[in-house]
């Protein structure tokens, strides 16, 4: 049985006492982000120098940069977009590569911050939200700090091992962090309807996080026997499970189980996870592995992008020369989907940005996250561009057809005057 130290209140914790100058602190992400510990870390940076927090997709306030606290991640995701550019180091890695380096120690971590459930009647605590690489990192770390939150579900696969000590605990001050909500736009609904037409019954889903992926998930409510094999489980996916559309009945592996690496969800999703033993957290090496994805028929990878060019090059990382996203697991799932029998890799995005001022269908991508050779299907509110197997000329025509009407003439002129010769 794991023996946890008695949780302290935030006001009684002197975190700087536990830390050393130069420490690298790995932090749980998504709804597993320990908000109290992160606030205390920002304060501790006043007394400890050269601290670096290694983060993922963050949902909480990231303070402490004014005290010299630095951050590192595989992308500019969630609230990390609010950090000063000089305070965030982006490691150009796929998510699976980033996590693999944590698991095997190549990306060293001196300290690990986790959010754990309160111990049950058997004294067991659960990581709850997934992010199982935190356990691997904790085995090597000098210090493990846990934020104890009674709202954390006892998700199968997330039991904290008895042989991994926790050195300090603090009580949470509220429910786990949840993604910002927001009503879907008309464009979101149109995109979701197009995607829903592409997804067959008994498809296995991989979905990202955010308003658009959740809108797409909810648009699949009338489908039958969908499955989940994904890096994340979000509010939209939980809603699909609750209405009976997602049963995992057609999966060749993990039949009847919803498999995800980390949970990003609000109170209703966490309440459902408490009651659903069919939801299981698995490590990234399992969820992102092509060997597993290609064993699943009708695997639909559904992700987004910042821009896509006329030849199908996909940019999910930068806009206007500034990093605003990350490669994440998109390449892993894209390639896995294309090896799945009946699979499809879908990139869904609005056709414009900045209230219609900029086209997201562009002449040439400013950054390439996914090569044109891996591009499959692009969806905007204007329709579907199926690119796989098409010539460059045909790709350009199809991409122009799903661009916003006011940008089509300029894109056509570019392709006629320069694009065909440049890319041909």
CA pseudo-torsion sign 65, 68, 74, 75: positive
Q: Find the CATH number of the domain harbouring 346.
A: 3.40.1080.20
Phi, psi of 375 (to 5 degrees): -65, 140
CB of 379 closer than 8 Å to CB of 401: no
Is the same domain home to 150 and 208? no
pLDDT, tens digit (0-9, with 9 covering 90-100), for 235-276: 999 999 999 999 999 999 999 999 999 999 998 899 899 989
pLDDT, tens digit (0-9, with 9 covering 90-100), for 312-352: 999 999 888 788 788 889 999 999 999 999 999 999 999 99
pLDDT, tens digit (0-9, with 9 covering 90-100), for 189-232: 999 999 999 999 999 999 988 899 999 999 999 999 999 999 99
Is the same domain home to 226 and 162? no
CB of 297 closer than 8 Å to CB of 340: yes
pLDDT mean over 29-54? 97
Domain boundary among 147, 171, 195: 171
CB of 67 closer than 8 Å to CB of 41: no
| 400 pLDDT above the threshold of 90 | yes
E strands along 57-186, which residues? 70-73, 88-90, 111-116, 143-148, 168-171
Domain boundary among 146, 171, 196: 171
pLDDT mean over 43-60? 96
User: Is residue 241 in some structural domain?
Assistant: yes
Domain count, the chain: 2
pTM for the whole thing? 0.95
Is the same domain home to 340 and 397? yes
| 362 pLDDT above the threshold of 80 | yes
Query: How far apart, in whole angstroms, are the C-alpha atoms of residue 243 and residue 256?
Result: 15
pLDDT, tens digit (0-9, with 9 covering 90-100), for 62-91: 999 999 999 999 999 999 999 999 999 999
Is the same domain home to 15 and 101? yes
Identify the bridge partners of residue 130 per DSSP, sorted by sequence position: 262
Query: How far apart, in whole angstroms, are the C-alpha atoms of residue 149 and residue 170?
Result: 9
Helix, strand or coil, per DSSP, at residue 293? helix
| 419 pLDDT above the threshold of 90 | no
Is the same domain home to 282 and 336? yes
CB of 381 closer than 8 Å to CB of 403: no
User: Is residue 210 in some structural domain?
Assistant: yes
CB of 168 closer than 8 Å to CB of 157: no
Is the same domain home to 232 and 164? no
Identify the bridge partners of residue 339 per DSSP, sorted by sequence position: none
User: Is residue 1 in some structural domain?
Assistant: no
User: Residue 414 is part of which domain span?
Assistant: 186-423
User: Structure tokens of 150?
Assistant: 């009674």
């Amino acid at each position: 049985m794991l023996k946890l130290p008695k949780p302290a209140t935030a006001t009684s914790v002197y975190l700087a006492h536990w830390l050393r100058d130069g420490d690298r602190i790995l932090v749980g992400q998504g709804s597993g982000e320990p908000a109290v510990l992160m606030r205390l870390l920002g304060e501790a940076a006043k007394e400890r120098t050269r601290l670096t927090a290694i983060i993922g997709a963050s949902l909480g306030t990231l303070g402490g940069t004014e005290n010299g606290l630095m951050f590192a991640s595989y992308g500019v995701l969630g609230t990390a977009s609010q950090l000063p550019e000089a305070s965030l180091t982006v490691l150009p890695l796929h998510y699976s590569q980033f996590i693999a380096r944590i698991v095997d120690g190549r990306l060293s971590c001196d300290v690990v911050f986790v959010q754990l459930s309160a111990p049950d009647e058997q004294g067991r605590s659960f990581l709850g939200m997934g992010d199982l690489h935190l356990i691997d990192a904790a085995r090597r770390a000098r210090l493990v700090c846990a934020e104890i939150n009674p709202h954390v579900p006892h998700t199968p696969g997330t039991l904290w091992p008895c042989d991994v000590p926790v050195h300090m605990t603090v009580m949470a001050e509220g429910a786990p962090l949840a993604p910002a909500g927001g009503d879907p736009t008309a464009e979101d609904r149109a995109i979701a309807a197009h995607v829903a037409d592409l997804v067959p019954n008994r498809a296995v889903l991989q979905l990202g996080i955010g308003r658009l992926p959740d809108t797409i998930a909810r648009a699949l409510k009338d489908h039958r026997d969908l499955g989940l094999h994904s890096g994340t489980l979000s509010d939209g996916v939980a809603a699909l499970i609750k209405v009976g559309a997602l049963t995992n009945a057609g999966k060749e592996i993990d039949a009847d189980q919803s498999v995800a690496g980390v949970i990003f969800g609000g109170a209703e999703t966490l309440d459902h996870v408490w009651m659903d033993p069919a939801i299981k957290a698995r490590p990234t090496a399992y969820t992102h592995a092509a060997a597993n994805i290609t064993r699943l028929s009708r695997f639909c990878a559904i992700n987004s992008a910042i821009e896509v060019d006329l030849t199908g090059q996909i940019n999910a990382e930068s806009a206007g020369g500034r990093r605003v996203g990350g490669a994440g697991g998109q390449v892993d799932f894209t390639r896995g989907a294309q090896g799945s029998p009946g699979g499809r890799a879908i990139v869904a995005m609005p056709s414009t940005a900045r209230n219609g001022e900029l086209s997201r269908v562009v002449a040439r991508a400013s950054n390439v996250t996914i090569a044109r050779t891996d591009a499959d299907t692009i969806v905007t509110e204007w329709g579907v561009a199926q690119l796989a197997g098409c010539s460059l000329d045909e790709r350009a025509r199809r991409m122009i057809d799903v661009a916003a009407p006011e940008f089509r003439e300029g894109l056509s002129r570019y392709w006629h005057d320069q694009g065909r010769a440049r890319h041909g």
